[in-house]
Chains A and B, each alone.
Chain A
């Protein structure tokens, strides 16, 4: 505006604080936005409001106690957090996990993905103003929580896995209920799509908003759906299979434009792929033990390991160093997908309008518990 002539009035940028108390920052994220009218010219991401020192705390807990702490990171996807941690320690201990346990873990992880995506879909749509989708998505998330409750007794922080296997076998009839849930979920997906996918307003609000090229997405270290939305084929389940993923047949949906709408479509397709994986796992569920041979006293050899899984949010990695003497990790570090994806927020937001900011916070799907740890 001021390129040709000096503006008549002084133009001030309006600095507004979005959060930490704001209905759509998905927790206690704080964004300091510099606005020119409604356009965002600069954005400062402030976080750390729910920092609990989980990584440091873990270095003073023994190996089994840490599982419980991992629940508290991505609290809407506790099962995948458990899975990632347990597998990392198993790698360190060189423990073989029985096939049945790996299958059940896969089922739990995929159920968790559905649950987490339900929460994402509901809140994302709510941010853009479609409030009915929130209630619909939460209705299905409730079913996921019920299944988890029946399996391990908890609804949010499951503590549902153990190093070397699982604490519990599935209750009788649980597999039938999971199958029923898969059918229900498959029937409900068209309901979401009817409300959103071809909705003109939804298209206008999401298409072409927050476009990020594949090159930039890799450069920013994005992972999970935001990375795949830009067309990068990267999914830990395929690239470095863990649990029992190498035994199942499923596809990784990819986007082409890298905008919010693509990321939305990808996550919707991931619902379907998750259902597909769960069905295959239930069909081929082997008999056998659910705990591997694990020593009474967990004392891994000195060494370090990094192991990643595909959490609903993206690549969730654990880096653990053991000094070989203590019954606790020497160093414990998490690569949280939400934190890494949050780095992409600023480049996405700058240049967009205030209304798009909430839309973009929704599309990268962050959980502040995991960002701050």
Chain B
């Protein structure tokens, strides 16, 4: 009873709270990082250096009036934010924050596929939000979203096949352990795959330069134009939770998860004094920073260019990568 129900439940409770809190602070971090990139200060008013902004923002969103447009499809309008947040949170179930059983909710033998399939459900939130709003800009946005997410999902999934070939397992814990056995982070074995997954991750989380479904300056906020208050903040939470989960998975797959740098070099064994989860968190943090940095730097792609990159560039490269990996695997 204790092992099968209570402990997993406790883990889930802790994890969910940790995610939601880190999302609020991530919003603050994003505002600060972008502000520094733009020679501004960012939020400075609430608390010292604006750190309490992370608490004030959610309160503001909760207190705001929740408006449902008269002509919206009420059921789907309410369902969409939930559909977008839940998969983002469920995906954390298979993310191991350490090698010990204490640090993950579940280690299933198809962990990586589970992650992919759960995140692929998240697109419904965006599509249905756009459609249920019964408004023109959101509809355009949700058409963009569905096309974009499907094409990039294919690219990412195909890229991950080559990683699975290298690791020989689909379990997230197994992949990290394989990196320990091989003595190298897979980011160095599969640099092409790493770049592809990063690009695909940007596209799947609707981040700049692929933020077409939101496209503030074109579609006035895109799929969430008609949303306000708590429902809007659910989309917000979903977006940031997705970014965190993508960063975490990238760190686990390509940067050794909780392993220290050069896991096979004995001379660096003193690095093990730092616990594994701190290593993983700092890696996640780096990726989060990268996402924000990119947002502050790059313009936005156009819809047709985005599709062209996905289908004509990323997918062929991913296929070629699989073939090369297979050949190397057979020869070595």
Identify the A interface with B (CB < 8 A).
14, 16, 22-24, 35, 38, 125-132, 135-136, 139, 195-196, 199, 201-202, 204-205, 353-358
Contacts and interface: CB of A to CB of B under 8 A. Distances in A.
Contact of A132 (B38, B137, B215): B38
- Among B34, B38, B139, the one with the most A-chain Cβ atoms within 10 Å of its Cβ is B38
B302 A23 contact: no
Given A129-B209, A135-B40, A355 B297 contact: no
Query: What are the nearest 9 A-B pairs in CB distance?
Result: A129-B300, A135-B38, A130-B299, A24-B217, A129-B299, A128-B299, A355-B302, A16-B136, A127-B217
B304 A23 contact: no
B4 interface: no
Given A23-B217, A23-B220, A132-B296, A204 B136 contact: no
Given A16-B137, A358-B218, A135 B39 contact: yes
A190 to B, nearest CB: 15
Given A204-B302, A205-B302, A129 B217 contact: yes
Contacts of B218: 24, 127, 354-355, 357-358
Interface string B200-216: 00000000110110011
28 contacts: A14-B136, A23-B217, A23-B220, A38-B144, A38-B304, A125-B299, A127-B218, A128-B217, A130-B298, A130-B299, A130-B300, A131-B38, A131-B296, A132-B37, A132-B38, A139-B39, A196-B299, A202-B299, A204-B305, A205-B301, A353-B302, A354-B218, A354-B219, A354-B303, A355-B212, A355-B218, A355-B300, A355-B302
Interface in B267-308: 295-305
Contacts of B216: 23
Q: How large is the interface on B (under 10, 10 to 19, 20 to 34, 35 or more residues)?
A: 20 to 34
Contacts of A14: 136, 139-140
Contact of A22 (B38, B212, B220, B305): B220
Given A135-B39, A139-B39, A129 B208 contact: yes
Nearest to A359: B302
A201 B209 contact: yes
A130 B211 CA distance: 12
Nearest to B209: A201
A356 B295 CA distance: 20
- Among A130, A196, A202, A358, the one with the most B-chain Cβ atoms within 10 Å of its Cβ is A130
Nearest to B309: A204
Contacts of B39: 135-136, 139
Nearest to A202: B299
Nearest to A37: B143
Given A38-B140, A38-B303, A132 B297 contact: yes
Given A24-B218, A199-B299, A205-B301, 5 more contacts: A132-B37, A195-B297, A201-B209, A201-B300, A358-B218
Contacts of B139: 14
Contacts of B144: 38
Contacts of B136: 14, 16
A36 to B, nearest CB: 12
A358 B217 CA distance: 7
Contacts of A136: 38-39
A205 B302 CA distance: 7
Contacts of B211: 129
B296 to A, nearest CB: 5
A354 B140 contact: yes
Contacts of A35: 140
Given A14-B136, A129-B209, A204-B305, A355 B299 contact: no
Contacts of B209: 129, 201
A199 B301 contact: no
A195 B301 CA distance: 15
A139 B218 CA distance: 25
A339 to B, nearest CB: 23
Nearest to B301: A201
Interface in B204-252: 208-209, 211-212, 215-220
A358 B212 CA distance: 13
A278 to B, nearest CB: 24
Contacts of A125: 299
A354 B140 CA distance: 10
Nearest to B217: A24
- Among B37, B139, B295, B302, the one with the most A-chain Cβ atoms within 10 Å of its Cβ is B302
Given A129-B209, A132-B297, A353 B38 contact: no
Given A132-B37, A139-B39, A199-B299, A126 B217 contact: yes
B140 A205 contact: no
A187 to B, nearest CB: 14
